[in-house]
Amino acid sequence: MNKEQRRKYYLKNRDRILTNQKRYVENHREKVKNDKRKWQEKNRERLKKYGKRWREKNPEKIKEFTKRYYSRPDIKQQKLEYNRQYRKNHPRKDYQHKKKLRFEILKRDNFTCQYCGRKAPNVELQIDHIQPLSEDGERYKKENLITACSDCNQGKGDVLLSELKVV
Ligand SMILES: [Zn+2]
């Protein structure tokens, strides 16, 4: 059977074929699911490309879908629930780590602003980047972090320590 014949056969027996298909899917739910997943994994790149092309071609449709999605009354509740679950499953390890690093830097610098020498209770201490992030300074490296009071930190902006000429 060539393509044209197949098409004709399909159109003629469409109802029967679809009913059979439906019955097959219902009786082999797990298998169909697995096969689909396997196929998707195998054709991931192709699907990605196809999806991208479709999205580029149909920006209006995407807008419409989004609008319809967010106009659903239950969606807000669902989103809240999702966020709650996400927080539960992804505790903020990263956050804890940052807190610890911050304390280590403060301790190393003896809770003193390294620019003007003022100490903790008198001024609000912050952690500053020696090489600014905007100039590819490293965010979490101890060698690139320094204790600074909020005055010195804000006044400095993105100026390098070496340019500031602090002894
Ligand atoms: Zn200072």
Dihedral, CA of residue 25, residue 27, residue 28 and residue 33, to nearest 10: 50
- How much distance in Å is there from the Cα of 164 to the middle of ligand 1? 13
Q: What is the pLDDT of residue 94?
A: 67
Ligand 1 center to 100 CA (angstroms) = 22
Per-residue pLDDT of the chain (167 residues; tens, 9 = 90+): 788 999 999 999 999 999 999 999 999 999 999 999 999 999 999 999 999 999 999 999 999 998 888 888 788 888 889 989 988 887 776 677 888 999 999 999 999 999 889 998 888 999 999 888 888 888 889 999 999 998 888 875 555 555 655 54
Residue 115 alpha carbon to ligand 1 centre in Å: 5
**8 Å CB contact between 113 and 155:** no
pTM: 0.41
Which structure tokens are listed for 109?
């610098």
Give the C-alpha separation, 25 to 19, whole Å: 10
- Residue 157's pLDDT is what? 54
Encode burial over 15-53: b for 16+ CB neighbours within 10 A, e otherwise: eeeeeeeeeeeeeeeeeeeeeeeeeeeeeeeeeeeeeee
Ligand 1 centroid vs 147 CA: distance in angstroms?
9
Give me the pLDDT at residue 160, please.
55
**Rounded Cα gap, residues 77 and 84, in angstroms:** 11
Cα 117 from Cα 108, distance rounded (Å): 14
pLDDT value for 109: 94
Write the CATH number of the domain with boundaries 93-164.
Answer: 1.10.30.50
The pLDDT value given to residue 110: 94
pLDDT attached to residue 80? 87
Domain-wise residue ranges, the chain = 18-89, 93-164
Cα of 151 from ligand 1 centre, angstroms:
6
User: How far does the centroid of ligand 1 lie from the alpha carbon of residue 49, in Å?
Assistant: 53
> What local confidence, expressed as pLDDT, does residue 167 receive?
42
